[in-house]
Structure 1
């Protein structure tokens, strides 16, 4: 019953690949944006905050359509990237990664922002008075202190990417072997006669992967938290 067909296996492997790429490429900009929202004082901060968290309140289909308008082959960003860099997002697995990254980005930023807000600024100030420059303070003090938030945000973003459906199917369609991720495959199998067994298999896999990610996140966060507590 749990022997996967080639089509099912391709959907699982593509989902994991898309989710990993979406999460890893979101982390650096997510960290920068979280620092800006937490520490920055500038005009337009509220606008930036709204744009970052907009995917949480917009219907995923709307987000996918906006991505299609921007990154489609005729969109301003999509045409520029395709013509100058050879990068194509629309109807490619890279587009699925982009859509998943956008949908998981608010969760990543929120976790990072909460961690940054919780830092005792006195520790950073003390490092600065000892002669450390801001970059070194960030690497040696700030980054280790927000590590649990980085882990939590990364796992949440990965889990959100694994479950993304609306934005992905709107932006890159549902092409087997190219853009058909796990949720898209489950939806497809529920629409065809005799596909219930395949849909159930993939549902179980989705639950196992997501639950494993959460458990790993808790375990790593606990270990990191204890280590930071001991070192402090």
Structure 2
């Protein structure tokens, strides 16, 4: 087994997963908080749209992203004009795909956490003069900390295992967009079971260690 071939997909997968889980968590806090606090017309439709990536085939998500972000779309053209490179077939595209597929899990877990916070404590803080940002920072987030941590870990685990949407929008370019799942796919296709096992064990170990570490932290 060539370790020089093994390392790049592993590093890229970690890079993509960490970035995607941070982005999904940041957006999730805002969206889950708003959806928890507000009751408005069309809320169920918005939540259904948010949860769609959880049930749609990843290739469908990848195809939609390819249409929305491709060089023929105004978003893709604007991105290319700003950064002097297309968004598709880049590591950025892999992050976008991972964020989309991981967000439903992150959102749902955070929403449960925010819903479990005692509203009376938040109201008491507001009546004492605290703004919404202060209530969120000093009351809501600390009380929902376990759910937020769980949401981040789930987002990471879902991101590191993403395959279909990533393959559609980011491709499988060695050293550039080839993540561990796509590398495993190619290794199996070419009959290199040794490398396939090496990458498979790697992704299992990373996910296991992160889940174990988080579980112990939550128990403390």
The 8 Å contact of residues 65 and 167 in structure 1, kept in 2 or not, is answered as yes
Matched, 1:217 2:204: no
Task: Please point out which of 8, 14, 17 is paired with 2:15.
Answer: 17
Task: Please point out which of 62, 65, 69 is paired with 1:64.
Answer: 62
1:192 matched residue in structure 2? 190
1:111 matched residue in structure 2? 109
1:175 matched residue in structure 2? 173
State the superposition RMSD in angstroms: 1.4
The 8 Å contact of residues 151 and 220 in structure 1, kept in 2 or not, is answered as no
Task: Please point out which of 185, 204, 219 is paired with 2:201.
Answer: 204
Deviation at 1:76, TM superposition (A): 2.6
Deviation at 1:86, TM superposition (A): 4.0
Deviation at 1:129, TM superposition (A): 2.2
- CA separation of 1:79 and 1:110: change in aligned 2, threshold 3 A: same
Residues 148-163 of structure 1 aligned to structure 2 (within 5 Å): 148-163=146-161
The TM-score, its normalising length taken from structure 2, stands at 0.95
Matched, 1:81 2:84: no
Deviations 1:138-188 (A, max 9, x none): 111011111111110000000000100011001111111111100000111
Measured in 2, the distance between the counterparts of 1:70 and 1:191 equals 30
The TM-score, its normalising length taken from structure 1, stands at 0.90
1:226 matched residue in structure 2? none
Deviation at 1:128, TM superposition (A): 1.9
Measured in 1, the distance between the counterparts of 2:104 and 2:213 equals 21
Deviation at 1:85, TM superposition (A): 4.7
Deviation at 1:5, TM superposition (A): 2.2
Measured in 2, the distance between the counterparts of 1:167 and 1:25 equals 17
Question: Any unmatched runs of 5+ in structure 1?
Answer: 224-232
Deviation at 1:213, TM superposition (A): 1.4
Measured in 1, the distance between the counterparts of 2:105 and 2:50 equals 10
Deviation at 1:131, TM superposition (A): 2.5
Deviation at 1:134, TM superposition (A): 2.2
